[in-house]
Amino acid sequence: MSEGGSLRRWRGGPRKHQRRVLSTLQVSLISSVLSAVVAVLLFSFITGLPTSSTRHAATGSAVLLSDAGDPYDRITSAAAKVAPAVVSILNHGELSEGDPEQAALGSGVIFKKEKGKAFIITNTHVISGASDLEIVTSDGASRKAEIVGQDSINDIAVLEIDGQGIDTVIELGDSKKLRAGETVIAVGNPLGLGGTLTSGIVSYTSRMIPVSLNQDGVYDWEQEVIQTDAAINEGNSGGALVDLNARLIGINTMKISDTGVEGLGFAIPVNDVMKTVDDLLLHGKVVRPYIGVYTLDLNNRFSPISDEQRQDLKLPSHVTEGVIVLEAHGPALEAGLKLNDVITQLDKQPIQSTLELRRYLYENKKIGDDLEVTYYREGKLEKTTLKLTDKPSEAEIEQGLDEDK
C-alpha cells in the first residue's frame, strides 16, 4: 500500500486502524531515540571520549568548568583573591643609597601569619646583596623586612615583616596535581609595576633546567620547574603562580629571554618550595650533607683547562672526567684533600661533574655518613674517607673563608 493510501486510512478509516498507526509511530520514535543513544555510546567507546555524566564523575575540574560559566570570571575572581597576598620587594643595595628607583626589584608571597609577624616567600636572587629590604604591600604600605633564611641552591628565601594590617595569606595548592594545559595566573611586580597580572597555561609540569649557582655561566645544578607561557618579566621573580582556585602552585623564578623566544617562563613547584621553607623556618638554612670542596669540572666546555694545566695535574691519559679541587674546607680538609686533587668517584660511583657530585651527596647521603672519595694526586690514584657534616649557612662559609686567610 502506498504512503498516500495509508495516510488517508488514518484520517478516515475505522478507529482500530487509528490505534495501529499511532502505535507504529511511537515505536518508530522510540527506535530512533534508542538508535541515537546507542550511536553515542558506541562513538564514546570507540574514541575513548567520556560522556558528559562520566566526565562529571571522573574529574572535579570538569564540573567546576562546566558550572562556573565564563572562564574569564574565574581568572578575575582568583586574581582578586590572590592580589593582597602578593608584595613588591625593593632590594636596597650599597649602590642604591635608599633611592627606590635605584633598588633592585622583585616580588614575594605572604604565606603565613603568626604571633604578630607575617612571613613571605621569595627567590634568593631577589634579595642577593641586600643591605636593606623594603616590602610594599598591595595597599601601598611600606615595611622593613628581615631575612629568616635563604637557600641559593633551591633559590628560595623567607622574609619576616610586621603582621599588623596583613589580612590575606595565600592558600597553598598541590603542584603534583598540575596538568599540562591548565590555566594559571602569574602575579608580581614586573619592572616596578606592582600588582601586575598575566595568565597562560602550564606548558610542562616538571621541566629540568640547568642553572649556574654562582652566575659564572657554568651549570652546576639542575632545577625542577613548572614551564608556563604566562608572561614573566624582570621583577616577577619571587611572585605567585596560581591556579584558577587562587591556590599557590609555584614561585616564579626565571624566563628564557632571547631573540625569537617567547612564552618560556618557569616557576619552582610549591611542593618543593615548602620543603625548603620548612627548613628555613626551623634552622635558618636547608640541612644538607657537606663535603667542603670548591671544584671545577675537568671536562668543562664553558671553561676548559689548557693543555699546560692538564700537564700540571699529571693525570693518566684515560682520565677525562672528574672534578678538580680548587679549595678544601671542613670534612674535605680534615680528610687531606687539597688543591689540584681530581675526584673521580664517591663510594665507588663515577663522578664526572660538580653537578653529579652534588646530586650524589644530596640524594644518597645524610649528615654523619662516611663518604669514600677516590681521587688522583700527582698522577697517582688515592682514596680517603671523610665524615659528612651539616652544610654551613652562606654566612658561616664566608666567615670560615675569612678565618682561613
The residues that are catalytic are 125, 155, 237
The C-alpha cell at 352 is: 664526572
Which DSSP letter does residue 304 get?
P
3-state secondary structure of 146: strand
Identify residue 214 by its one-letter amino acid code.
Answer: N
Q: Write down the residue that cell numbers 680538609 correspond to.
A: 333
- Vertex 48 angle, CA 43 and 51, to 5°: 70
Residues whose CB is less than 8 angstroms from the CB of residue 180 and which lie 6 or more positions away in sequence, other chains included: 201, 202, 203, 204, 205
Tell me which residue of 238, 245, 206 sits closest to 225, measured CA to CA: 206
Residue 125 neighbours by CB distance under 10 Å? 19
> 193 vs 46, 181, 236, 305, CA distance in Å?
51, 27, 10, 45
Exposed / middle / buried, residue 15 (Cβ in 10 Å: 0-12, 13-18, 19+): exposed
The C-alpha cell at 295 is: 671544584
Which DSSP letter does residue 192 get?
G
Run of H or E including 248: strand 247-255
Which DSSP letter does residue 49 get?
P
Tell me which residue of 74, 36, 391 sits closest to 242, measured CA to CA: 74
Residues shown for the chain? 405
3-state secondary structure 82-145: HHHHEEEEEEECCCCCCCHHHCEEEEEEEEEEECCEEEEEECHHHHCCCCEEEEECCCCCEEEE
